[in-house]
Homo-oligomer: A and B are copies of this chain.
Amino acid sequence: MKARIHITLKKGVLDPQGKAIAKALSHLGFVGVEEVRQGKYIEIDLAGSDTQTARAGLDAMCAQLLANTVIENYSIELDA
Contact = CB atoms under 8 A, between A and B. Distances in A.
Interface residues of A, number: 33
Contacts of A34: 45-47
B41 A40 contact: yes
Copies in the complex: 2
A36 B44 contact: yes
8 contacts: A21-B42, A21-B66, A25-B61, A28-B61, A28-B64, A36-B42, A36-B45, A41-B41
A46 to B, nearest CB: 5
A47 to B, nearest CB: 4
Given A38-B40, A39-B41, 7 more contacts: A21-B66, A25-B65, A28-B61, A36-B42, A38-B42, A39-B40, A39-B43
